[in-house]
Amino acid sequence: MMSKQMKYYFIINKWAGARHSAETWQKMHHLLVQNQVEFDSVVTEYPRHAIELAQQFATSHRKGWIIVAFGGDGTLMEVLEGVQRVDATIPLGYIPAGSGNDFARAVGLSRDPYLALQQLIQTTQPTILDVGAYQDRKEPVVHYFSNNVGIGFDASVVYQANQGQKIKLSKWHLESTAYISALLKTLVKQKGFPMSVTIDGKTQQFKNAFLVSITNIKYFGGGVGIAPQARLDDGKLDVVITEKLTLLRFIRLFAKLLKDGSHLAMPDVFFATGREVLVHSFAPEHGQVNGEDLPYQPFDLKVWTVKQSFWFTLQTK
């Protein structure tokens, strides 16, 4: 049964899911009214608007409300950041309506928005989970993410996929093929780069890094199991790094990655977990966080975990 005293504030990104989410929200709005759920809603108007909306609402509504991100992993990240700036004990809900929906996959939320809504309103108590925090060490501002930060190959794939391909393919509901197309392009173009990573004080150097993923969850890229051992309640991040591989070795690695997670045991793959990760790339590279592009630049990041209250029941496989 729905907890009677809870009210829901939906922050809607109508551009999520290659623009399908606006149509989904119209149907969901009708369902909420029909079922006499107490809610309010607002639609984002520009990039990073969800941060402002979540921060403003969290400042003035600390009790009795669930702030719900309605969109993709990028929308969730923005709403998370707005809430974290005010009070991490304010529960955060999520209706996945994006292209990748990796966070929903990781926590056991249905990727069908209507079933996810049922899960949301049937929840009776919050769940405390880890989320990531990161900071450019040249700047004081801290940002937050639910999924992962990537530098190199996966970030270049995200960059390519975000260059309008998802929108073009949305007509046929084939957004995920944007990632496959981008992956093949990037595999040819992406070069290795020098970088260092320090995990809980222990430094490792890489002369020819290719894929660098610092992740809070098991998945990236729309369901690819990059870190199969990742947990959302251990206070640690999983770090997966490969150096530039021959095409044949990359195909072998990718096949293992898609199949069963045994890629972590390959000698070509560096894997470690830790509470604090410092990553320094010495040349400009593409970066991504929660599937959103970071500026093309040399990176000097500090990454760690903090806690956040969520309004769903964690269900992991």
Domains parsed from the chain with CATH numbers: 5-123 (3.40.50.10330), 132-305 (2.60.200.40)
- Spatial distance between the Cα atoms of 39 and 27, rounded to a whole number of angstroms: 15
User: What gap in Å lies between CA 38 and CA 158, rounded to an integer?
Assistant: 37
* d(C-alpha 256, C-alpha 250), whole Å: 10
Among candidate residues 22, 291, 255, the one with its CA nearest the CA of residue 161: 291
299 vs 53: CA distance, rounded Å: 29
* Residue pair 181/115 in contact by the 8 Å Cβ criterion: no
With beta carbons less than 8 A apart as the criterion, state whether 143 and 81 touch.
yes
For residue 261, the model assigns a pLDDT of: 84
Indicate the pLDDT class of residue 169, thresholds 50, 70 and 90: very low
Please say if the pLDDT value at position 139 is more than 70: yes
CA nearest neighbour of 174 among 99, 284, 278, 236: 99
Q: pLDDT tens for residues 48-97?
A: 999 999 999 999 998 899 999 999 999 999 999 999 999 999 999 999 99
For the stretch 246-299, pLDDT in tens is 888 888 888 888 788 899 999 989 999 999 999 999 999 999 999 899 999 999
pTM value? 0.91
Asked if residues 210 and 243 have their Cβ atoms less than 8 Å apart, the reply is yes
pLDDT at 2 over 80: no
User: Distance between CA 138 and CA 201 in Å, rounded?
Assistant: 19
What pLDDT is attached to residue 38?
A: 95
